[in-house]
Amino acid sequence: MALEKYIDHTNLRPTATVDDIEKLCKEALEHNFYAVCVNGCHVSSAKENLSGSPVKVAAVIGFPLGAMSTKAKICEALDCCKNGADEIDMVINIGWLKSRLYDSVREEITAIKGAIGDNVLKVIIETCYLTDSEKETACILAVEAGADFVKTSTGFGTGGATLEDVKLMKNIVGDKAEIKASGGVKDKASAQQYIDLGVSRIGTSSGPSLIK
């Protein structure tokens, strides 16, 4: 598969303007990226800008901290889907995970997946804040909850994707879920390394330069 089909072209900056999102979508169309990834307030405009194209719209929820209530995350996810999001990238409740409230973490993911139905759910585990054991547990819980993807990072934490974390995640999820690497993937060589490890999607704000 061509490299561009792995890319979720991303702009999640709090300062992103309407013009910035329009530019993001134009670049996604020009380069035939798989999806754009935006904050919820930009879903409608992204969908409009991409109308008639195969480029998907992914929206983040519970972003970037993951500490909102489950009810709030569900409402956010439903609103994004109503406005045209094809995929939802949710942040887990990191504090719950570190408190070993595993049932709560699993139930939240299950509830969001149940609410969005056939829409793709990616679960951001924010690896930079977790021990290896916690990363493994997060992946297990996401799979048990029916998530479609596990995702390394928000890009707003203290670190992004690493090859070591993707290897660990792949070892846990196997073929039960796909993997998205995000945060700090800025060049073609790095992207290819992640793909070689079994990543299905790469979240990056450097899509156009990455494929050159």
pLDDT exceeds 90 at position 97: yes
Whether 188 is a known active-site residue: answer no
DSSP state of 92: P
Extents of the domains making up the chain: 3-210
pLDDT class for 212, splitting at 50, 70, 90?
confident
Q: What is the share, in percent, of the chain residues with pLDDT greater than 70?
A: 100
Give me the catalytic one of 56, 122, 135, 180. 180
Task: Find the helix or strand (DSSP H, E) in which 150 lies.
Answer: strand 149-151
Alpha helix positions (H), 32-131: 43-49, 70-82, 94-98, 102-116
DSSP state of 4: G
Query: How far, CA to CA in Å, does 16 sit from each of 42, 91, 164, 210?
Result: 9, 20, 31, 21
Question: Could you tell me the two tokens for 59?
Answer: 């929206």
Q: Cβ contacts of residue 89 below 8 Å, gap of 6+?
A: 37, 58, 59, 60, 61, 63, 122, 124, 151, 180, 203
pTM score above 0.95? yes
Query: What SS3 class is residue 180?
Result: strand
Pairing relation of β-strands 56-61 and 35-38? Answer: parallel
Whether 118 is a known active-site residue: answer no
Beta bridge partners of 91: 124
CATH fold for the domain made of 3-210: TIM Barrel (3.20.20)
Give me the catalytic one of 89, 113, 148, 165. 89
Its sign, for the CA torsion 55, 59, 64, 70, is negative
Per this entry, what is the length of the chain? 212
What is the C-alpha separation between 35 and 38, in angstroms, rounded? 10
pLDDT score for 211: 86
CA 112 to chain centre: 14
Which residue in 133, 197, 137 sits closest to 162, CA to CA? 197
Q: What is the mean pLDDT of residues 144-171?
A: 97
pLDDT score for 173: 98
Give me the catalytic one of 113, 151, 165, 170. 151
- Check if the beta carbon of residue 191 is closer than 8 Å to that of residue 6: yes
Whether 89 is a known active-site residue: answer yes
